[in-house]
Amino acid sequence: MTRLDRELRDLRDRRRALVPYFMAGLTPNWTQYLDAAVQGGADVLEVGVPFSDPMMDGPVIQAAGVRALERGVTLEGVLDELARTDLGVPVVVMTYFNVMHYRGLERAAGLLASAGVAGVILPDLSLEESAPWRRAAGARDLATILMVAPSTPPDRVARIVATSQGFVYAAARMAVTGRASGDGEAARVVAGIREHGDVPVYVGIGISDPDQARHATRDADGVIVGSALVQRVLDGESPAELETLISRFRRTIDEGAPEA
């Protein structure tokens, strides 16, 4: 069990998790958005590291990735800044497998762990191809978070639940990020995951407003909110404005939560 597993199991006893996503390096002051998110009530931060070919991302995160790459953002630069920022909540890095593969798995896992990163989401790293990475990451107490999709059949759900660390990422719909809104098939996906283990389950892909987040967390242990936030950063909203929005997510989720 990794540090992230323990922290998120503790968290589950207290409240539903709110996980905002931000694209690293999108603006010069991008880490201020992370601070603001924590102030607004985030429990975990998902930090996107841009990749040239983001197969699982829709137009908003693609645009953010392009802009970040144009600013010269690199994994090493992002990790330097994260290492210097004391956020007080676990940070999970989301990027594509080639970013790790290019550096060598051992080295990449070492860089992430040294910067204090708690886990990674690599959407194009399939369960079948994940063993070498999980070995490298596991040796550094770095959690590898896997995704279950609405299309995943039960036998695969079982294997993914047994393998995923930290939480299981439940994709609410058959779509890439930021293309549709609402929690879609989340209830069915979450129920399918619950049959195979007592792991924290967070819903993402399509959660774009506080009511949807509240709806999704009736079943799930947490929600991931990405494109809806990144769009606002792209539109020039300030960290303070994002903090206000995230605190609304926080309040709405907490109001809607069943008694613990």
Partner 1 sequence: MSHVMGSPDTGGHFGDFGGRYVPEALMPACLEVEAVFREAWSDPEFVTEFRETLRLFGGRPTPVTPLERLSEHLGLRVFAKREDLAHTGSHKINNVVGQALLTRRMGKRRVIAETGAGQHGVATATAAARLGLDCTVFMGELDTQRQALNVFRMELLGARVVPVTSGSRTLKDAVNEAMREWVTCVDDTHYCLGSVMGPHPFPWMVREFQSIIGAEAAEQLRALGVDEPDLVVACVGGGSNAAGIFAGFADSRADLVGVEAAGGSAVGSGVPGVLHGMRSMILQDDHGQVEEAESISAGLDYPGIGPEHAYLASIGRARYTRAADDEVLDALRLLSRLEGIIPALETAHAIAWLVREAASIPRGSTVLLNLSGRGDKDVAQVRTLLEERA
Residue 119 phi, psi (nearest 5): -165, 170
Which amino acid appears at position 257 of this protein?
Answer: A
Nearer to partner 1, 116 or 150 (CB): 150
Residue 35 known to be catalytic: no
Minimum CB–partner distance for residue 151 and partner 1 (Å): 5
Applying CB under 8 A, which of residues 10, 28, 55, 255 lies at the interface with partner 1? 55
Under the criterion CB under 8 A, does residue 69 sit at the interface with partner 1? Answer: yes
Catalytic residue among 46, 185, 219, 243: 46
Q: In what order do the strands lie in the sheet with 222-225?
A: 143-145, 119-121, 91-94, 45-48, 17-23, 222-225, 201-204, 168-171, 147-148
| CA distance linking residue 18 with residue 101, whole number of Å | 30
3-state DSSP of 152-205: CCHHHHHHHHHHCCCCEEEECCCCCCCCCCCCCCHHHHHHHHHCCCCCCEEEEC
Task: Please check whether residue 18 is in contact with residue 250, taking contact to mean a CB–CB distance below 8 angstroms.
Answer: yes
Minimum CB–partner distance for residue 237 and partner 1 (Å): 23
| Chain residues 167-226 in contact with partner 1, contact rule CB under 8 A | 171, 174-176, 179
Under the criterion CB under 8 A, does residue 97 sit at the interface with partner 1? Answer: yes
Applying CB under 8 A, which of residues 6, 59, 80, 162 lies at the interface with partner 1? 59
Minimum CB–partner distance for residue 255 and partner 1 (Å): 32
Residue 57 known to be catalytic: yes
Minimum CB–partner distance for residue 165 and partner 1 (Å): 15
Residue 249 phi, psi (nearest 5): -55, -50
Applying CB under 8 A, which of residues 124, 141, 209, 254 lies at the interface with partner 1? 124
Residue position matching structure tokens 């299981």: 168
Nearer to partner 1, 35 or 57 (CB): 57
Question: Which positions are catalytic?
Answer: 46, 57
Q: Which residues lie near partner 1 (CB under 8 A)?
A: 51-56, 58-59, 62, 66, 69, 74-75, 96-99, 101-103, 123-129, 146-153, 156, 160, 171, 174-176, 179
